[in-house]
């Protein structure tokens, strides 16, 4: 992701954007992690 961002912004901005992106993903995971999924079959039946 870092090399891709470097095509558009300076290195410091690229690092900041990546940090924000990771933080947003982690926040989304924390926010939604109480919903049980339907992925159990992957390790119950395979």
Query: Which residues in this chain contact other proteins in the complex, by CB under 8 A?
Result: 1-2, 22, 25-26, 28-29, 32-33, 35-40, 42-46
Tokens of 8: 């558009």
Residue 31 CB, shortest distance to other proteins, in Å, is 8
If the CB atoms of residues 7 and 35 are measured against other proteins, the closer one turns out to be 35
Closest alpha carbon to 2 in 17, 39, 38: 17
Sequential DSSP letters for 2-13: HHHHHTTS-HHH
Of 7 and 38, which CB lies nearer to other proteins in the complex structure?
Answer: 38
């Amino acid at each position: 992701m870092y090399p891709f961002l470097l095509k558009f912004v300076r290195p410091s901005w690229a690092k900041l954007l990546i940090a924000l992106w990771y933080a947003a993903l982690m926040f989304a995971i924390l926010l939604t992690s109480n919903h049980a999924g339907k992925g159990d079959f992957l390790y119950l039946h395979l």
